[in-house]
Structure 1
Amino acid sequence: MKTKHHNYFTATALAALLSCSVSSAQAEITFYNSQAAYLAAISAPAVDRFDDLPFWAQGPGYLERTAGEHSYVAWSVAGPGEDSLLYSAGSAGDAWLSTDQASDYLTFGYFSKKVYGIGGFFFGTDEAGAYLPGQTIRLNVLAADGVEQLILVDNTTTGSFFGFVSTSRLDAFQVSAVQPNGGYSWVAANDLTLGSVAAVPEPASYALLMAGLGLVGAAARRRKA
């Protein structure tokens, strides 16, 4: 595993991804601000609670993580081409994943192939990693075919759940804090929830299905005759 990653959400990265896409179909991404609705939209949900993380003021550059049958990598991005360090916040009984610098982007990527949905609790913290009320969080998701969706959510709390489900496999997800006037806020993530979606039949499968329905109809006509 490489220890150097990149910021997915730059114009250069998006252009490169779009240029190499071989699919003409564009992903549809649905945003959820309800945990129940998000869970109803995915299959094989699995939660990474981060409670096994040790406490470090300045943590590693990246983490390789698993949640059920899904896997991913988490790291912090300071800017285009610049990685930084992670930070473990929360408490020993309920750890959160955060960034070392307030302006950094908490990034998730290198998902296993069945990840079509990502969600969790996202909110702001102070310098010590304690919950900071009333903060605005930026959520940015990118599908494997280059479709991107950016959402800003205000007044987040530790119970603020947000998620995205895509019709195309997910490539990356970033969360960051919008800095308040006259102060600083760090983003935190808790209970990251990954999931798949029900498989959509390929065109060839539709053709076989229609042919099968045609045979059933013909047999029904023969029986009626």
Structure 2
Amino acid sequence: MLNLKAHAAIATLFLAGAAGAATTNGIANGGFEVVNGNQPVGWVGADSSAPVLSNDAHSGAHAMLLSVPGGFGGSGLLQDSIAHGGLAALTVANVGDTPVLSFWAKGDVSPTGNAKFGLSYLGDNGVLYDSGLQYFHSDLSGTTWKQISFQAAAIPTGAKAVYLLLNTAVGPLQDGRVNAVYIDDVQLTLTTAPVPEPETYALLIAGLGVVAAVARRRRA
């Protein structure tokens, strides 16, 4: 068995390797606090009814309101993390990571409506992974913000960008209920694999030296 000095050297080595890991948000301007006029920077509206900036926020000053006030249509908010968000491309250090998408939402979709999101990874030639549409209208409250979380699939080799769609759709409004979904604090937690630093390699050599010395002593 290894002595305490060898164990300490190996433990130090593992700690040094782990220290290089970092987490970042794979979505730009997830709190909608950076605005240009009345539009959040990094986001694009889609569908028949464009989302609007709202001051009814979970945190900070702004949230986004996805709404089809007249019924019969949809309201979507989307971001390509590179083309729209201006973020750096995903790299090989992100491959294999299984990020968690989370955001805060509240609202009402009317009896004929729904609320959903889709998360994809994009490569040079299009979609590498598509999560499909994940519905969350059953989790909504008209008065209380609730956090929605989703464990995404592993980032595949060749992925460059994250593509996120948030959407509500509705048929005819019923029972006097509106279609209005508020979204705030969008977070995609990316964990970047640690890149060994020169000090890590030095510790590796030192640790291997200690192990070899212990082995020689045991043979003697």
TM-score after normalising by structure 1: 0.49
- 1:166-205 aligned within 5 A: 167-168=154-155, 171-179=162-170, 182-183=173-174, 185-199=179-193
Instruction: Report the equivalent of 1:124.
Output: 107
Q: What amino acid is aligned across from residue 179 of structure 2 in structure 1?
A: S
CA-CA distance at 1:107 after TM superposition = 0.9
Q: 1:119 to 1:155 in 2, by over 3 A?
A: closer
Residue from 44, 60, 74 that aligns with 1:75: 44
Is 1:86 aligned to residue 48 of structure 2?
A: no
Instruction: Report the equivalent of 2:78.
Output: 107
Q: 1:125 to 1:219 in 2, by over 3 A?
A: same
Instruction: Report the equivalent of 2:129.
Output: 147
Instruction: Report the equivalent of 1:3.
Output: none
Looking at structure 2, the residues matched to 48 and 222 of structure 1 have their Cα atoms a distance apart, in angstroms, of: 57
Aligned residue pairs total 155
CA-CA distance at 1:147 after TM superposition = 1.4
Bigger radius of gyration among the two: 2
Q: Which ranges in structure 2 are unaligned for 5 or more consecutive residues? A: 1-21
Look up the SS of the partner of 2:74 in the other structure: coil
Looking at structure 1, the residues matched to 215 and 104 of structure 2 have their Cα atoms a distance apart, in angstroms, of: 56
Q: 1:89 to 1:197 in 2, by over 3 A?
A: same
Aligned 8 A contact 1:120 1:190 in 2:
yes
Once structures 1 and 2 are overlaid, which stretch shifts more, 114-123 or 135-144? 114-123
CA-CA distance at 1:195 after TM superposition = 3.0
Larger relative contact order (C-alpha < 8 A, sep ≥ 6)? 2
Instruction: Report the equivalent of 1:137.
Output: 115
Q: Which ranges in structure 1 are unaligned for 5 or more consecutive residues? A: 1-41, 65-72, 127-131, 203-207
Instruction: Report the equivalent of 2:63.
Output: 96
Is 1:163 aligned to residue 149 of structure 2?
A: yes
Q: 1:120 to 1:156 in 2, by over 3 A?
A: same
Higher strand share: 1
RMSD: 4.3
TM-score after normalising by structure 2: 0.50
